[in-house]
A and B are shown apart, each in its own frame.
Chain A
Amino acid sequence: MSTTTVAHHEEHAEHPSGIMRWLTTTNHKDIGTMYLTFSLIMFFVGGSMILAIRAELFQPGLQLLNPEFFNQLIGVHALIMIFAALMPAATGFANWMIPLQIGAPDMALPRLNNWGFWLLPPSAILLTLPFTLALFGIGDGALATGWTFYPPLSVQGGIGVDFAIFAVHLLGISSVLGSINIIVTLFNMRAPGMTLMKMPMFAWGWLITAFLLIATIPVLAGAVTMLLTDRHFGTHFFDAAGGGDPIMFQHLFWFFGHPEVYILLLPVWGFIPQILETFTRKPMYGYKAQVYSFWAIGALSVVVWAHHFFTAGMPVPALLYFMYSTMAISLPLAVLFFCWIKTMWKGSMSFETPMLFTVGWIILFGIGGLTGLMLADVAADAQYHNSYFVVAHFHYTLFAGGIMGIMAGTYYWLPKMTGHMYSEKLGKLHFWLTAISFNLTFIPQFFLGLAGMPRRIPDYALQFAEFNMISSIAAFVLGFSQLLFVYNIVSCARGNGKKATDQVWEGAKGLEWTLPSPPPYHSFTEQPIVK
């Protein structure tokens, strides 16, 4: 791209300035930036909640928090991290990168896109407002049932539950709108020559994610609405006294909740092969195998939900079915791991920050996957279930497998998005601090779980003291080292650091790298053709 084309593009970049630009924008890059900024802010909000919890758990005895407030923090931490940090981050990247990767000028439904984003801040406010209201003596604080809303506890709960139900509704609408937009974009706006089986892996990951969201979010919305009517309008969906069943809620919730895990992970699984391709300087191995594995995982994810509550009581055939179907997820996942490692094999690797995060991601997510395989076993699950073993397991999948993947993607595309390079030294420091403190936080939690410490308790027996102390110290290191991440992003966005080239990375391939860095406000005024 020559400079003249850039100047030509800038002429068309007419948009309102100031706050109106962001409120009214229909530009996919602006919306993507808003999603990513929102996600980063909420990542710190959710993170500070968990640091308060880790401070409380630093030693036995109650020091800082009341049990009631503790229960509110754990649930809201999870909801914020899942719905307000991880999902918007993935959607932000989808907005930024999908049009660039498939050679489209924008998303297919730009106004919907704007609305999808602007539903998020109100729902984040809904989630956290009860904390503030409680300070003024209104209600008794936020949702205190954990993020899973299990009745009858959630029927018993205060106004925090209602606020959370409406927050989930809004977040759900936002996700469904985003998903519709992505599906329509991917099906209709690919550049000529880009068949579905030539789409970048990230686009594939999101396509499956979008279908999963559309399939499962309505079930969640239905379940929490039933909860709302049980709370206020005298229905008995989840009350045995009226012919209902509290466990039915768990079936409905996890019919959404298990696919949700893959909704969070599939976009990241799309980053990984693309980043590997760039930093190994060789094409990814087994593109088709990876795409088919995505399909298989998407399909399996909606038929394994009951493994989240094996101990709630189920007929033996159901236990066996959910055990074996859950184990079956490891098959396509093994293929994915094989392809990722085979891509690394005999490449010409260099280890810039995105690559470090990717390699670290493969290893740590591997631990999450393998412990997941162990959790599938019904008999052993009786011990693991609701112990710290599970807490450690799902942080390996969602922090390592989710957030560290998002970080890899951020470092990978940050120079493209801002036009400036981040400090490689600080990026690497950020990676090593994150990886080491993450392990020191969560490995002790595996042992705590095995030794018999239940999750969601504000205070614990003396035998759990040492591991909790290690875990808490490491959690604070983990939390504070994320400030480096913010520093790197902000300094790129402010134009510090050297200018990025169009291709940015030596081995980068794909349409997004053919545009200037940063790409013009309106990209692809001439449609690219994929051969």
Chain B
Amino acid sequence: MQVLKKIGLGFAVMLASLNACADYAWNFPLPATPMATDTLHVHNKFMLIAMAIFVVVLAIMIYAIFSHRKSKNFKPVTDKAPSTAVEIFWTLIPFAILLLIDFVIMGIPAYHSVLMMEDTRDKATMVIKITGSQWRWQYEYMDGDAQGIKFISNLSTPKEQTEKGYQGVKDEHYLLEVDNHLVLPVGEKVRVLMTSTDVLHNWWVPQFGSSRVAVPGFIRETWVQVERAGTYRGQCKELCGKGHGYMPVVVDALPMAEYKAWVAAKKEELAEASAGADKVWEKHDLIANGKLVYEKNCAVCHQVTGAGLPPAFPPLTGSKIANGPIFGADGKYLKDSHLDRVLNGIRVMPAWKAMLNDTEIASVITYERNALGNNVGDMLQPSQVKEARQ
């Protein structure tokens, strides 16, 4: 009895230690939404069933391997082709077992999970839109107090850390950190609309249990309802080109009051930025601001030096467009000008008008024309960008 207790205790400790690990590397990360909780339960249940089947079948095989072998002089049973009825009976047993597992034990909970997962609208209290682009996410709040808040979220791991051959210390959240976090209120069901501007992306936070492909030209839906405050990290999980490994997702879930404060602050910040569009800027301010915008958004493809990565990503240094006129001789908007290219994009180049504000666009264009080895000498005011948008 004593021995049995000891063994039991040992098992309990073993299981407990397995559980301790379960938060981290041996299973799904700790779920933060009802969907992820459900997924974890479903996964654990299926894993258990799969393990049970595997162990039973393996045990039978191992028994046969060790006892029914020629070296032990085991004589093979004649096992003449059994009568059809018997054969059918025997082979129907595994069939029936799997029928039960597939469509009852696994099938019924799976059915409910699917319905829950696809129900994006019931009880949803707010809507956000997520747009994937090569290689960043854009978030837009569609309704409520936060309506109109819109920003881009870029990888913020320092460039030198991700470069080839970097040997130094890496950030704690290497490749899983961004400049602007998506902020969501705790406990609210958020309907998520998903789309893309170029290729397929997939917005995925493992602790949320939801993942959906962002398809250019289409709106896909999913939902999240974060139950605990905290910071959650994920990544794009649809191969989307060379920057696929470099477009993380970071979500801050805040209690309602803090969320409201964040919304107010963010709105103010955005208002300030758009107010900046109306003032007249000094050239060196534009260039300084433009450098920041450039390195955050443009350097992935056109490189920090402006050398580009031809043939896919042309150099800006000495580029015809970056050194050509911004406006036509008549002072009007010019198609295929530097401004037009940044606003509307072409092929792989995204249309930045949806992602950057007037000040940012004016700054980055001024920067590109007066740095990176270019020396046009002119500048672009945010007010001109504002006008060009109309």
Contacts and interface: CB of A to CB of B under 8 A. Distances in A.
Contacts of B25: 447, 451, 463, 466-467
B107 to A, nearest CB: 7
A338 interface: yes
Question: Most chain-B CB neighbours within 10 Å: which of A311, A349, A379, A380?
Answer: A379
Interface residues of A, number: 97
B162 interface: yes
Nearest to B21: A447
Interface in A311-369: 311-313, 316, 319-320, 323-324, 327-328, 330-332, 334-335, 337-339, 341-342, 344-351, 359, 362-363, 366-367
B91 interface: yes
Nearest to A448: B25
Contact of A62 (B38, B71, B111, B163): B163
B218 A379 contact: no
A9 interface: no
A151 B196 CA distance: 13
A462 B115 contact: no
A349 B39 CA distance: 43
A contact face: mostly helix, strand, loop, or mixed: helix
A345 B60 CA distance: 8
A344 B68 contact: yes
A181 to B, nearest CB: 31
A240 interface: yes
Interface in A284-324: 285-289, 309, 311-313, 316, 319-320, 323-324
Given A153-B239, A341-B57, A377 B74 contact: no
Given A313-B220, A366-B54, A62 B94 contact: no
Interface string B87-120: 1101101110111011100110011011111100
B239 A311 contact: no
Interface stretch (B240-248, B284-292, B365-373): B240-248
Contacts of B60: 341, 345
Interface in A467-496: 467
B123 interface: no
B16 interface: no
A350 B79 contact: no
B273 to A, nearest CB: 30
Nearest to B161: A61
A345 B65 CA distance: 8
Interface stretch (B140-148, B170-178, B180-188, B331-339): B170-178
A334 B312 contact: no
A68 B245 contact: no
Interface string A377-419: 1111011011100000000000000000000000000000000
A125 interface: no
Contacts of A350: 69-71
A338 B114 contact: no
Given A156-B348, A382-B209, A451-B29, A341 B242 contact: no
B90 A338 contact: yes
Interface stretch (B6-14, B42-50, B318-326): B42-50
A149 B314 CA distance: 24
A339 B91 contact: yes
Contacts of B91: 286, 289, 335, 338-339
A71 B244 contact: yes
B200 interface: yes
B93 A67 contact: no
B212 A378 contact: no
Interface stretch (B229-237, B261-269, B350-358): B229-237
A313 B204 CA distance: 14
B211 A385 contact: yes
B202 interface: yes
A377 B106 contact: yes
Contacts of A324: 102-103, 107
Interface in A127-146: 140, 144-146
Contact of A447 (B26, B35, B42): B26
Given A240-B216, A385-B211, A450-B26, A67 B244 contact: yes
B255 interface: no
Nearest to B74: A348
Contact of B113 (A158, A366, A367, A377): A377
B256 interface: no
Contact of A382 (B27, B77, B175, B211): B211
Nearest to A349: B69
A231 B110 CA distance: 40
Contacts of B94: 334-335, 337-338
B31 to A, nearest CB: 10
A346 B103 contact: no
Contact of B98 (A334, A344, A456): A334
B311 to A, nearest CB: 6
Contacts of A371: 50
B76 A347 contact: yes
Given A282-B79, A347-B76, A319 B118 contact: yes
Given A338-B93, A379-B38, A344 B64 contact: yes
B102 A158 contact: no
Contacts of A288: 84, 87
B360 to A, nearest CB: 25
Interface in B132-161: 161
Nearest to B111: A320
A287 to B, nearest CB: 7
Contact of B68 (A245, A349, A363): A349
A283 B312 contact: no
Nearest to A386: B237
B156 to A, nearest CB: 14
Contacts of A387: 237
B210 interface: yes
Question: Most chain-B CB neighbours within 10 Å: which of A66, A316, A380?
Answer: A380
A377 B46 contact: yes
Contact of B211 (A311, A346, A347, A359): A311
A101 to B, nearest CB: 19
B234 A452 contact: yes
A197 B92 CA distance: 20
Interface of A: 60-64, 66-68, 71, 140, 144-146, 150-153, 156, 158, 239-241, 245-247, 280-283, 285-289, 309, 311-313, 316, 319-320, 323-324, 327-328, 330-332, 334-335, 337-339, 341-342, 344-351, 359, 362-363, 366-367, 370-371, 373-374, 377-380, 382-383, 385-387, 447, 450-452, 454-463, 466-467
Top 4 A-B residue pairs of the complex, sorted by shortest distance between their CB atoms:
A240-B217, A379-B113, A457-B245, A452-B206
23 contacts: A62-B165, A63-B164, A71-B244, A140-B312, A152-B198, A246-B215, A246-B217, A311-B202, A312-B213, A320-B111, A332-B95, A334-B94, A334-B95, A349-B69, A370-B54, A378-B113, A379-B114, A380-B39, A383-B28, A383-B39, A452-B204, A452-B206, A461-B176
Interface of B: 24-29, 35-36, 38-39, 42-43, 46-47, 50, 53-54, 57-58, 60-61, 64-65, 68-71, 74-82, 84, 87-88, 90-91, 93-95, 97-99, 101-103, 106-107, 110-111, 113-118, 161-167, 170, 172-176, 198-200, 202, 204, 206, 209-213, 215-218, 220-221, 233-246, 311-312, 347-348
Given A158-B311, A451-B25, 12 more contacts: A61-B167, A150-B199, A286-B90, A312-B220, A330-B102, A334-B95, A347-B77, A377-B106, A380-B46, A383-B36, A383-B39, A385-B211
